[in-house]
């Protein structure tokens, strides 16, 4: 089962030649959705696509009128991304749904692939899950990527009609459980394979623009300059120092744009994109206020002006204790240790939770020091197999009996000894799957991903 998951993840990774480059609402993401739709149909699930291209495969329960139980994640990636972020939750989630559907269950079980979770292309992520929950902004469809293509046009090129802003595509699932690679080291540090997430941190995108004076690199004395890039550089270092002053904060400058750049011209305008995260909403407010102070000091020191705006903001979200309890019970090992696992990465589960849907998350340990958003991202086959079994049990219990009653918010499971997969075996699986894409997907031939609103 884990072997098939790794094989499919490699197939997705190889779209476009690898590393993974599947921007939201791109043809590459569409190709991944087409493949996943084929795998869902192959597993006997009822496949549907909504107005923004979210994909769901359903195994109807005996009482289809009851709220549905969904798992899933996203299939888009950051530039030069890895194999597991998002895709693991869809591909392994499909395995869990396929296993769970073999048993009688009252509620319909589904696996969903959300669109454009990463937000790298249009600047704001969670597009598919926000659309599902009716949280698209009124002007959002007119936001453009770097090449000037709007979301509206990108959707049209995928033959999807634009959704009505602010509308909610009913019915929403009654429960959502997202399986995801950890993208950190808290599990690996404790030699644990799985973790149940208690909370997802608050986060915001801050855009800071520094303005100076454009001037000649040779003719302008070093003491007479108003260099916007120097102000931005001071800010980058200051933001880093600020975030290091509190363990509840993280701040990253991963984007810096010099307008009309030239090596012999002093920069007059520089835009800095800051990703700010904190354990609580109040803490995030303090961090953002601190970043503004740093920007002010950095600009003043060099005689520059500055302005800052929040590009996006997501509140801290707690996972539903009963869903977490169901996951903990499904992990069900005596040696399990409840700990408060925190996700420093944003996930679609946070969007559904904020919309009032009971949501939980199951983390799988990441290898290679937790590296993610990188082709180096990895996870062990044994851990993935354990995650599928746990998710299968949790979905079955949730589909049969609804939510658990416990109050546990976090739970981890110890990896059994001797479960390390043979590295060479996995590499062989990767290699044998590299040519799969060229063969096309016969199940999808003639399948019209037309528009079935969820």
CB of 78 or CB of 154, closer to Zn ion? 78
CA 341 to chain CA centroid, nearest Å: 17
CB of 96 or CB of 304, closer to Zn ion? 96
- Residue 348 Cβ, how far from Zn ion at the closest point, in Å? 8
- Residue 346 Cβ, how far from Zn ion at the closest point, in Å? 8
User: What is the DSSP secondary structure assignment for residue 152, as one 8-state letter?
Assistant: H
- Residue 74 Cβ, how far from Zn ion at the closest point, in Å? 6
| Size of interface with Zn ion, in residues (CB under 5 A) | 2
> What angle do helix axes 423-433 and 2-13 make, rounded to 10 degrees?
50
- Residue 395 Cβ, how far from Zn ion at the closest point, in Å? 20
- Residue 373 Cβ, how far from Zn ion at the closest point, in Å? 9
**66/133 Cα distance (integer angstroms):** 19
- Residue 120 Cβ, how far from Zn ion at the closest point, in Å? 12
3-state SS string over 167-186? Answer: CCCCCCCCEEEEEEECCCCH
CB of 85 or CB of 377, closer to Zn ion? 85
- Residue 442 Cβ, how far from Zn ion at the closest point, in Å? 29
Looking up tokens 């007479």, which residue turns up?
Answer: 224
Instruction: Give the CB-nearest residue to Zn ion.
Output: 86
Instruction: Give the contact letters, 312-351, x = binds to Zn ion (CB under 5 A), - = no.
Output: ----------------------------------------
**Computed from CA positions of residues 173, 179, 181, 187, in that sequence, does the dihedral angle turn out positive or negative?**
positive
Instruction: Give the contact letters, 212-241, x = binds to Zn ion (CB under 5 A), - = no.
Output: ------------------------------
CB of 35 or CB of 441, closer to Zn ion? 35
- Residue 431 Cβ, how far from Zn ion at the closest point, in Å? 26
Task: List the Cα angle 416/421/422 in 5-degree steps.
Answer: 145
Q: In angstroms, how far is the first alpha carbon of the chain from the final one?
A: 28
CB of 34 or CB of 182, closer to Zn ion? 182
**88/109 Cα distance (integer angstroms):** 18
- 99, 141 contact by CB (below 8 A): no
**182: contact with Zn ion by CB under 5 A:** no
- Residue 82 Cβ, how far from Zn ion at the closest point, in Å? 10
Spell out the residues 6+ positions from residue 301 whose beta carbon is closer than 8 angstroms to its own: 231, 234
- 54, 454 contact by CB (below 8 A): yes
CB of 34 or CB of 85, closer to Zn ion? 85
Strand order across the 305-314 sheet: 249-258, 269-278, 202-211, 305-314
DSSP of 57-122, one letter per residue?
EEE--S-TTSPPEEEEEE----TTB-SSTTHHHHHHHHHHHHHHTTS--SS-EEEEEES--S-TTT
CB of 88 or CB of 454, closer to Zn ion? 88
Task: List the Cα angle 195/201/206 in 5-degree steps.
Answer: 145
CB of 84 or CB of 235, closer to Zn ion? 84
CB of 110 or CB of 119, closer to Zn ion? 119
- Residue 374 Cβ, how far from Zn ion at the closest point, in Å? 13
**Computed from CA positions of residues 276, 115, 200, 386, in that sequence, does the dihedral angle turn out positive or negative?**
negative
CB of 86 or CB of 195, closer to Zn ion? 86
Please list every residue from 54 through 93 that binds Zn ion, using CB under 5 A.
85-86
**44/40 Cα distance (integer angstroms):** 7
Chain positions contacting Zn ion, by CB under 5 A = 85-86
């Amino acid at each position: 089962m884990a072997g098939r998951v790794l094989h499919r993840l490699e197939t997705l990774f190889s779209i476009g030649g690898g590393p993974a480059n599947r921007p939201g609402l791109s043809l590459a993401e569409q190709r991944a959705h087409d493949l996943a739709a084929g795998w869902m149909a192959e597993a006997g699930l009822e496949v549907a696509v909504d107005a923004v291209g979210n994909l769901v495969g359903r195994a109807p329960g005996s009482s289809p009128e009851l709220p549905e139980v969904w798992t899933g994640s996203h299939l888009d990636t950051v530039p030069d991304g890895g194999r597991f972020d998002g895709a693991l939750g869809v591909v392994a989630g499909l395995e869990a749904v396929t296993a769970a559907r073999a048993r009688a269950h009252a509620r319909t079980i589904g696996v969903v692939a959300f669109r454009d979770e990463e937000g790298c292309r249009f600047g704001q992520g969670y597009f598919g899950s926000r659309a599902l929950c009716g949280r698209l902004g009124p002007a959002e469809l007119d936001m453009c990527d770097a090449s000037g293509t709007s979301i509206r046009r990108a959707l049209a090129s995928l033959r999807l009609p634009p959704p009505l802003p602010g509308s909610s595509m009913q019915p929403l699932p009654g429960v959502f459980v997202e399986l995801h690679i950890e993208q950190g080291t808290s599990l690996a540090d404790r030699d644990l394979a799985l973790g149940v997430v208690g909370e997802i941190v608050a986060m915001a995108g801050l855009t800071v623009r520094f303005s100076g004076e454009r001037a000649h690199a040779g003719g302008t004395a070093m003491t007479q300059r108003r260099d916007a890039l120097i102000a931005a550089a001071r800010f980058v270092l200051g933001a880093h120092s600020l975030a290091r002053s509190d363990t509840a904060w993280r701040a990253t400058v991963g984007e810096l744009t010099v307008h009309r750049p030239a090596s012999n011209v002093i920069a007059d305008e520089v835009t800095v994109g800051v990703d700010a995260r904190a354990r609580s909403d109040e803490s995030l407010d303090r961090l953002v206020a601190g970043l503004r102070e740093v920007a002010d000091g950095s600009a003043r020191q060099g005689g520059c002006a500055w302005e800052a705006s929040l590009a996006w903001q997501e509140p801290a979200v707690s996972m539903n204790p009963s869903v977490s309890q169901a996951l903990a019970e499904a992990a069900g090992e005596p040696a399990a240790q409840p700990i408060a696992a925190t996700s420093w990465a944003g996930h679609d589960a946070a969007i559904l939770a904020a919309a009032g849907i009971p949501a939980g998350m199951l983390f799988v340990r990441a290898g290679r020091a937790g590296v993610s958003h990188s082709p180096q991202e990895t996870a062990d086959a044994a851990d993935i197999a354990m995650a599928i079994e746990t998710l299968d049990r949790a979905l079955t219990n949730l589909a049969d009996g609804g939510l658990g009653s416990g109050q546990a918010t976090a739970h981890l499971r110890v990896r059994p000894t001797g479960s390390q997969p043979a590295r060479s075996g996995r590499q062989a699986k990767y290699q044998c799957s590299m040519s799969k894409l060229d063969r096309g997907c016969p199940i999808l031939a003639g399948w019209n991903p037309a528009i079935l609103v969820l």
